[in-house]
Each structure stands twice: as structure tokens, then as C-alpha cells.
């Protein structure tokens, strides 16, 4: 038996203003989207914005339901909307933001496991990494250069081909 190690790489920026203007634009779109989230049960308002290579930005936010499991996260709303309306343009990046409704404060949020898996599907499909931009504690900004980096030991549909 051998113990193995998985290392993950990401970039941390002191503030949103340290990102390049294009990244800031996507973060701002995610912030805007969070304001329209439908989250009456959790009170946790999440916004996501997907930017395509052709410059289009598609927003999404969490949509909850009285039957709790029927709700869905912001990342999947944004990504599925992007894919449902996309004519083949590749996805460049996704930004995820949670804003406290009362104070307007930024709350750190990272994609849940289901979203990571759902997002990974499209990264594999387009054969090009999708950058993930999100806030960490103290408004630091974290950038992962690919979804795969956020999901080590991921389930890849390739294995289904061999079954």
C-alpha cells in the first residue's frame, strides 16, 4: 500500500478589483443575478454568471421549492441556460457569488459537489478548461483554472463507454 497525494492549484487575489476587467464583469453579473435568486427557504441568495467565448454572459441564480430537493443551485441554472441557448460557442468562465440580502455583504460560496459534476460535463465536452471565479473569506477572490481542479477523482463519462 502506498499513500498518495492530490494537490490542487488555484489563484487568490486580494480583491475583486485585482481581477482583469473581463473577470470583474462576470463577477458583477453574478452579483446582479444573486439579487433575483428565489431562496425563500434558505435565505441564501446565490448568483452565477457564465461567459461564452463570443462575449455573451448568461446569468442564473438558485431557485428553491417547497419540496426542497426540487430546488436547484445557481451554477446549474446558469450553465444549463447557457447550454440550452448556445449554438456551439465554448464557455470561458463562470463566476459564483452570494450576497446577503439585508446587508449586501459578500458571502464566500463554492460550488456544491453536484454542481461541480454538472459543470465538469461541459468542460469535458468542449475540451477546454472553464475558469471558476468565486469569493473566499474576507472578500478575497479565488480563481480555479478548470472545473476538473475543483473535483479530483471525478466521475468521467468515458468509463461508461467501456461497460
Q: What's the min distance (Å) between Cβ of 63 and ligand THU? A: 8
Rounded Cα gap, residues 30 and 58, in angstroms:
9
Is residue 60 near ligand THU by the rule CB under 6 A? no
Contacts of 19 (CB under 8 A, 6+ apart): 13, 27, 133, 141, 143
Phi, psi (degrees; rounded to nearest 5) at 155: -85, 115
Are the beta carbons of 53 and 89 closer than 8 angstroms? yes
User: Is the CA virtual torsion 107, 113, 119, 124 positive or negative?
Assistant: positive
Q: Which residues are catalytic?
A: 75
Start-to-end Cα distance in the chain: 28
Q: Rg of the Cα trace of the chain?
A: 16
Residue 27 binding ligand THU, by CB under 6 A = no
Site string for ligand THU, 86-105 (x = CB under 6 A): ----------x---------
Residue 39 vs 141, nearer CB to ligand THU:
39
Q: Of 74, 79, 91, 150, which one interacts with ligand THU (CB under 6 A)?
A: 74
| Options 30, 31, 57, 62; binder of ligand THU; rule CB under 6 A | 62
Using CA atoms, how far residue 43 sits from 26, 35, 40, 62, 82, in Å, is: 23, 12, 5, 10, 25
Q: Segment 114-143, which members bind ligand THU (CB under 6 A)?
A: 115
Which region among 10-18, 108-116, 141-149, 153-161 touches ligand THU (by CB under 6 A)?
Answer: 108-116
Q: Is 39 in the site for ligand THU (CB under 6 A)?
A: yes
- Judged by CB, which is closer to ligand THU: 42, or 85? 42
Q: Give 134 or 161: the residue with its C-beta nearer to ligand THU.
A: 134
Amino acid at each position: 500500500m502506498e499513500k498518495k497525494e492530490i494537490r490542487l492549484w488555484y489563484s487568490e487575489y486580494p480583491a475583486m478589483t485585482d481581477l482583469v476587467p473581463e473577470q470583474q464583469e462576470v463577477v458583477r453579473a453574478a452579483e446582479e443575478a444573486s439579487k433575483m435568486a428565489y431562496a425563500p427557504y434558505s435565505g441564501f441568495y446565490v448568483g452565477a454568471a457564465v461567459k461564452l467565448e463570443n462575449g455573451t454572459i448568461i446569468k442564473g441564480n438558485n431557485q428553491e421549492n417547497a419540496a426542497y430537493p426540487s430546488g436547484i443551485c445557481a451554477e446549474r441554472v446558469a450553465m444549463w441556460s447557457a447550454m440550452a441557448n448556445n449554438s456551439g460557442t465554448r464557455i470561458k468562465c463562470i463566476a459564483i457569488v452570494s450576497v446577503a440580502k439585508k446587508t449586501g455583504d459578500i458571502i464566500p460560496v463554492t460550488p456544491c459537489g453536484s454542481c461541480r459534476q454538472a459543470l465538469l460535463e461541459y468542460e469535458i465536452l468542449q475540451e477546454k478548461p472553464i475558469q471558476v471565479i468565486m469569493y473566499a473569506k474576507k472578500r478575497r477572490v479565488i480563481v480555479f483554472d478548470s472545473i476538473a481542479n475543483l473535483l479530483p477523482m471525478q466521475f468521467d463519462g468515458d468509463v461508461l463507454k467501456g461497460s
